[in-house]
Structures are given as C-alpha cells and as structure tokens.
Amino acid sequence: MKLNMLASALVAGALATGGAAAQELIRIGAPLPITGPLSPEAQKQQRGYDLWAETTNKAGGVNVGGRKMKVEIVYVDYQSNTPRAVQSAEKLITQDKVNFLFAPFGSGAAKAASSVSEKYQVPTIAATASSAQVYDQGYKFLFGTFTPNDTLTEPLADIVRKQAAGVQRVAILARNDLFPLAIAQEMEKSAKKRGMNVVYFERYAIGTLDHASALSQIKSQAPHWIFATGYTNDLVTMRKQMADQKIEAPLVTMIAAPAYQEWIDATGKLSENVTSAAWWHPAARYKGKDIFGTTENFLKTFRARYKSDPDYAEASAAAAGAIFQMAIEKAGTLDRQKVRDALAAMNEMTFWGPVKFGPTGQISSLEPPVFQIQKGKPTVIHPAPIRQSDLQLGVK
C-alpha cells in the first residue's frame, strides 16, 4: 500500500514537473509488480534501483558528455499482472517520456514487454530474466544481467562429479513455475550428461501447502542427490518435512531460496550443507569500475542504507542502473541508439562481475557462484577466484 502510494506520488510528481525538468534529469522507467503476489520481488528491485539512483545523485549525477545529470526512476505498478506490465512499459515510453527502461520482473514479463521497447527503440535492461527464450527474438534493444539457467547447474554437477563419484541417484522436485521448472530441467540434463540416474522427477503446483507425500516417494527411491526448486515458503516447508521423515542424502540442493537470509533463518540448523547457486553472492569480490566500485563497497553502501545484506536480485537491480550509467557516460549522450551501441559493445568489470553482453543481449561474461550453507553461513565453493571453502557432503 505504502509503496503503491509512493509510486503514484513519484509518477504524479514526474508528470507535474513536465518537460523542463526532464532536460535536467535522466529518467528511467521501471514497471514493477508493486502490489499482488510478486510484491516482495518488486521491493527487492526497488531497493536496488533506488540505491543506484541515490548513490549516483549524491555523487553529482551521470556525466553525459561533460554535463552532470541526475537520475530519476519512474515506477509504475503493474499489479503482478503480465499484460498490464506490457501496457505499463508502453505508458512509460509514450506518456512519461522516459529515456530508458528497466524490464518488468522475471523472464515471462520481461519477454512480453521487450516487444514494446523494441518497437520504440528504447534500450532496456532486464535485471531478473534468465531464460534464453527472452533474448532469442532478434531484438536489438534488450539486455540482461542474468546468464542462462544452465550456467547454474553445470558447474555444480561438475563439482559433484569430481568430488563425489558415488553420487548416482538423483531426485528432482520442481515448482511448476517458469524459472523453478526451467532450472530443474537444466539439472536433469546436467545430471544425465554426467551419467547420473534421475530416479524421480516431479513438479508440484504453485500454492502447494504440503510436500509430505512427494517426499515419502523420494525417500523410497533412496537418492544420493535431492534437487528441489521453488521459493522461500516452498523450500522452508520442504526442508522441514525432509527432517520430519528422516530423509538424509549426501547432497541436497535447493534453488532459489538459500540465497536469501530469510530462508537460512527460517530453516535454522536444517540449512546446514544445503547447496545452491545464484548469479551473484555477497561473498563475491570483484573490483569494478562502476559507481559502486568494489563488491565490498557495494555491500557497505547497501548495508548503510537498508541495514541488511543484499541478495542477487537486489544486486542485479543496482547493477542494471550502474551498467546504464557506464553506457551513457561512454556514449556521452542520451541518444537511445548510441546508448544501445555502447551497451552492445560494453566489456567492463563491475561490482556485479565482468559485464559483456552476447549477441542476443544476454550477459555472457558472468560466472555464477555455487555456494553451500556451512555453519549457518553461505560459503562460496565455486568459481575458483572467489572460492571460500570445499563442498561438504552429508545433509541430515
């Protein structure tokens, strides 16, 4: 509610000030699901965007060909409704006259809205879209900060193959939802490619309250590796119910919840040795040339502002802003075509990691970290430059 009002106020304020102010400001449109079931995700995105805008404005603004310009994020609430996300994107471009756009949340909405930004030739960065299908439409103005889904499962499967040769039987339980299902299917491919035997693969419906019977079936298959996907509530319940049925396995991987502190808090001791992967992790140590600079500095700024640690979704949103800034400064103009070309040609280090976009616009340079909860803390086990510990087997 509060956010909704805030968003309306921002939009109303932006409309009231009109054209004159627009010349002094770089305005970036952000259609977000501020209300509805995806609202927690929208809050994360807003925290990232706002942190970038505040940090940049505090430093005087973006250097556009020698002139410092402040930035403003124009939010529109699309109420977790994808068709409305597309309308919101169009409204931001045609009525609010934003210079650039952040894509709406997730792969589905980002793909749907990308046809609008392509039509109006507005450079757009998607901070939360990983599926390759979002980028394979031949569009020139869409860029994304997430690598394809298989970059999360492949390194993990490699590590397991190398360090735990005995792991043969894999059970996969996936939330029947765009990203959680896609990542589970990638896992199935990664496992089979390495000669592992997928003994169980089922999907559960969105809104499933209880997983006891699916877990009983998994237990009866005696898997070595349990791979479960879903969001925080699903995976908190599932981890507890595994303990309830005394299900133990050398390896338990859960995506995406363990990347969030709230999951670790909610599962307590049961989080120990659960592995996961995400596109970014606070334990990463990159020396960026963006407004935030090093990952440490980004963490410091984020903690000072929000009194908590950023997760990959918040970091990605902030990175999307920082990347826009680098592209605008490189282009030295707000001309959409030139900024687009600067994005396409970008090859820079940031606090988020190395940023270089592939031919489809999806980032190709990033190596997503694999991590494991060890002694209650997420610990990076891959890639080598930021590794903190080795993979530990045994989840009880």
Partner 1 sequence: MLTLQILANGLVLGGLYACIAAGFSLVWGVLNVINILHGSFIVLGGYLAFFGYVKLGIHPFASILIATPLLFALGYAIQRALINRMIAAPVLLTLTLTFGLDLMLSNAMLAAFTADFRKLILEPPLGVATLGPVVMPVDRLVAMILALGLTGLLYLVLSRSRIGRAVVAVRMDREAAALMGVNVKSVYAVTFGLGALMAGASGPLLAMIFPISPLTGPVYLGKAFVICVLGGLGSVPGAMIGGLALGIVESFGTLWFGPEHATTLSFVLLIAILLLRPEGLLGRKGYA
Binding site for partner 1 (CB under 8 A): 1-2, 37, 39-40, 43, 173, 176, 202-205, 207-214, 216-217, 220, 232-233, 236-237, 240-241, 243-246, 262-263, 265-268
DSSP state of 36: S
Alpha carbon distance 141, 119 (integer Å)? 9
Q: What whole-number distance in Å separates Cα of residue 367 and Cα of residue 279?
A: 7
Nearer to partner 1, 181 or 344 (CB): 181
Of 185 and 362, nearer to partner 1 (C-beta) is 185
| Strand 197-204 relative to strand 169-175, pairing | parallel
Contact 98, 21 (CB under 8 A): no
For partner 1, give the closer residue by CB, 261 or 364: 261
CA distances 314 to 40, 56, 108, 368, Å, are 11, 16, 19, 15
User: Which CB atom, from 136 or from 265, has the smaller least distance to partner 1?
Assistant: 265
Q: Of the candidates 132, 172, 136, which has an alpha carbon nearest to the alpha carbon of residue 156?
A: 172
Pure H helices in the chain: 2-24, 39-58, 82-94, 106-119, 150-163, 178-193, 212-220, 232-244, 261-267, 295-306, 312-331, 336-345
Q: Are residues 314 and 48 in contact, defined by beta-carbon separation less than 8 angstroms?
A: yes
Shortest separation between residue 35's beta carbon and partner 1, angstroms:
9
CB of 219 to partner 1, least distance (A): 8
Other beta carbons within 10 angstroms of residue 246's beta carbon come to 8
Least Å distance between CB 166 and partner 1? 25
Q: How far is the CB of 246 from partner 1 (least distance, A)?
A: 6
- Minimal distance in Å, beta carbon 374 to partner 1? 19
As measured in angstroms, the least distance from the Cβ of 240 to partner 1 is 7
Cβ neighbours of residue 241 closer than 8 Å, sequence gap 6 or more: 210, 211, 212, 215
- CB half-sphere exposure, 202, CA atoms < 13 A: 11
The answer for residues whose C-beta is within 8 angstroms of residue 176's C-beta and 6 or more apart is 203, 204, 205, 206
Indicate the residue among 39 and 372 with the shorter CB distance to partner 1.
39
The residue length of the chain stands at 396
CB of 202 to partner 1, least distance (A): 5
Pairwise CA distance, residues 351 & 284, whole Å? 9
Instruction: Supply 57's token pair.
Output: 């404005």
Kindly state the smallest distance separating residue 1's Cβ from partner 1, in Å: 5
- Decide whether 36 or 394 has the Cβ nearer to partner 1: 36
In this complex, which beta carbon is closest to partner 1, that of residue 150 or of residue 177? 177
Instruction: Pick the closer one to partner 1 by CB: 72 or 311.
Output: 311
